[in-house]
Amino acid sequence: MTVQGVKTRLKKKVDPYIKSLGFEERYPSGYKREPFNSVISFTVKTWGSDFTVQSILARSYRTIEDKWVKYRHLWGEDHQPYPPTIGFTRVDIDPALEINPHLKYLGEGLEEIKSEEDIARYAELFRTEYETLYLPFLKQTENIHWLDEELNKDPYVFSTARRRGISRNGAAFRNIIVARLAGNADYEVICQAARVFLREWAEKEEEGKKRAEAFELVYEELKLVEPLPSPLLTA
């Protein structure tokens, strides 16, 4: 069996279920659905002579991302896809789900794919985990206070650690936007910590300098933004 063979057989197994959830096929191994620009994708990797499959879910909250993506052109990133707020595998939700430590770099705790039966088993595993693991986690992320707690419980860390699947690209921007929308009492402390982080970056790279400049533009705009009247994100 080849990588393409695994992809073809996997698609046949998961396609009906994912489409029943309202997702539309975006490319052979990826599906997309509104609201929240939600994406499901599958990556097939080789492991010796066998294969393993990694499922990835992503979601963009435009209420958050729209407040900084318009400045990405300043450092030449405007051609990139719209950034996800959340992008995760099963292990991002609960590291205890890791079964095989040798597959840790793949983010998936599933034994190797060797046969049609393994693909069928994986498809059923995905369905179970989507309903019992992924959906409850996604429901949490719709709450701005949950995001604020995850991002800003330690306001001095912006890019060195992945926070429960929260995207690292645009970290300093996202931290202060979420803090503002959540009405975080430490908002100015978080902003100052972000400035220090970006200034240190600016001393090393031109991109850091451009991001620091963009940060101040976002900060000024956020002065006119009030905390969300309801903690639940709707877009």
List the domain boundaries for the chain.
Answer: 3-141, 144-222
Contacts for 137 with CB less than 8 Å, ≥ 6 apart: 88, 93, 165
Q: What angle do CA 149, 63, 136 make, to 5 degrees?
A: 55
Q: How many helices (H) and strands (E) are present in the chain, helices listed first?
A: 9, 5
Compute φ and ψ for 165, nearest 5 degrees.
85, 0
Q: What percent of the chain has pLDDT over 70?
A: 89
Q: What percent of the chain has pLDDT over 90?
A: 58
Which helix (H) or strand (E) covers residue 62, if one does?
A: helix 62-65
Tell me what the pLDDT averaged over the chain comes to. Answer: 87
Six-digit token string for 228: 């969300």
pLDDT confidence bin for 102, thresholds 50/70/90: very low
Six-digit token string for 177: 């936007």
What tens digit of pLDDT does each residue of 173-191 get? 999 999 999 999 999 999 9
3-class SS of residue 132: helix
| pLDDT at residue 104, rounded to an integer | 39
DSSP code per residue over 6-30: HHHHHHHHHHHHHHHTT-EEEETTE
Q: Look at residues 150, 148, 165 and name the one whose alpha carbon lies nearest to residue 228.
A: 148
What does the longest C-alpha to C-alpha distance in the chain come to? Answer: 57
Query: How far, in whole angstroms, is CA 27 from its chain's centroid?
Result: 19
Six-digit token string for 9: 């057989």
Q: Which of 149-153, 169-173, 216-220 has the highest mean pLDDT?
A: 216-220
Six-digit token string for 226: 């009030």
- CA dihedral angle for residue 195, residue 199, residue 200, residue 202, rounded to 10 degrees: 140
